[in-house]
Amino acid sequence: MSDWSVHFSRFLGAVPGRLHVAAHSHHPWPDVTFEAQQAAWLDAARLMDDKWDEVFGVLLPEAAGHITGRLGLSDPAAIAFAPSTHALVMRLLSCLSPPVRILTTDAEFHSFARQAARLEEDGLAAVERVAAEPFATFPDRFATAAGRGGHDLVYCSHVFFNSGYVVPDLAGLVGAVPEPEPLVVIDGYHGFMAVPIDLSAVEGRAFYLAGGYKYAMAGEGACFAHCPPGYAERPRDTGWFAGFAQLSGASAGKVAYAPGGGRLLGATLDPTGLYRLNAVQRWLDRLGVSVADIHAHVGALQARFLAAGPHPELLPGTESGDRGHFLTFRLPDAAAVHAALHAAGVIADYRDDRLRIGFGLYHGDDDVAELLRRLATIPGWP
């Protein structure tokens, strides 16, 4: 097994003895991001007012190229950037007239789930939620619900944040939507740079949202959307970046929008996260490390952990096949186990009755062995 931990020396060495198994929450940044952080500052000092020409002319196109390459997409110009995926969701919602008819799942991350619930409270949305469990029947049940039609927005994660379940056939999910008008959105945050994916079959129909905070190893502020042509072309929630090219000339009539993904841009953002994103992508390319390589590395660590001995109920079970980059265990006292782990210098996390343990490129066999050793001292762990 390759040892990539040496490339994370600043994060791993910051707190000696800490064992971080929450790659799915706050992924450590590789050392190359330290220089990238400095480069953002130095460019701001060097360019000052001309910084935005650099951002739009060099930084964003490079980042878009890396993203489309990883996802099997053909058009970097279809990528829009934002500080958070929530900002992009709000722009998509602003293209729709209330009450917005939403089809989604009961396993979406809080950002979207909270927003949908809040709109629902005021009668601005009617939300149909397909249960994630039982996982074996989820694809058919979601496709059946989508096939009934009548939705304005169909929103589903590629990898569910509270279980690691991987939706096996995204093209089938997208194709189940019978009408051409609804916005179809794939939340890819727990899949991007973790699970190999090829979106070429759906790039003309589906939006795809993700970002750098987790498996892309780039930290905050580097989120993006792939925007298929012909959809959400005039969001009401719009900022000056979406009309950046028109600033120097007069406009008449309707508000003008940038072409491609630029139509979903907002206002002034901190580009530092995109410096880090580009640095990480260049570093992986130099090493010759693909998403498939990362996925195989993490999968081997997961298999070693699971084979080591008894453990609580695993969600989904081993029969489900592929899973995201964390193991989810159902525990009635997940909060207490999490607190005990934290006291033992182990950083994991939990959601309700589910403890999540995530591995990443920065882990090796010795880390799994040490985690198992510390877990053996934790009350409530089998």
- Could you report the per-residue pLDDT of 239-278, keeping only the tens digit for each? 999 987 664 444 567 899 999 999 999 999 999 999 999 9
Shared domain for 162 and 249, answered yes or no, is yes
Nearest to 10 by CA among 41, 46, 35, 47: 35
Q: What is the CATH number of the domain that holds 121?
A: 3.40.640.10
Shared domain for 317 and 238, answered yes or no, is no
Shared domain for 81 and 210, answered yes or no, is yes
Backbone phi, then psi, for 106, in 5-degree steps? -90, 20
Spatial separation of the C-alpha atoms in residues 341 and 348, rounded to whole Å: 7
pLDDT tens per residue across span 66-107: 999 999 999 999 999 999 999 999 999 999 999 999 999 999
Backbone phi, then psi, for 363, in 5-degree steps? -100, 155
* Pairing outcome for strands 79-82 and 349-351: unpaired
Shared domain for 144 and 265, answered yes or no, is yes
Per the structure block, which two tokens stand in for 24? 């799915």
Per-residue confidence (pLDDT) for residue 249, from 0 to 100:
44
The tally of domains found in the chain comes to 2
Q: pLDDT tens, position by position, for the chain (382 residues)?
A: 689 999 999 999 999 999 999 999 999 999 999 999 999 999 999 999 999 999 999 999 999 999 999 999 999 999 999 999 999 999 999 999 999 999 999 999 999 999 999 999 999 999 999 999 999 999 999 999 999 999 999 999 999 999 999 999 999 999 999 999 999 999 999 999 999 999 999 999 999 999 999 999 999 999 999 999 999 999 999 999 998 766 444 456 789 999 999 999 999 999 999 999 999 999 999 999 999 999 999 999 999 999 998 999 999 998 777 999 999 999 999 999 999 999 999 999 999 999 999 999 999 999 999 999 999 999 989 8
Final residue before a domain boundary, out of 268, 283, 298:
283
In a domain, 62, yes or no: yes
The boundaries of the domain holding residue 316 are 5-30+290-375
Backbone phi, then psi, for 79, in 5-degree steps? -95, 130
Q: Is 264 within 8 Å of 91 (Cβ atoms)?
A: yes
Q: What is the CATH number of the domain that holds 346?
A: 3.90.1150.10
Shared domain for 261 and 358, answered yes or no, is no
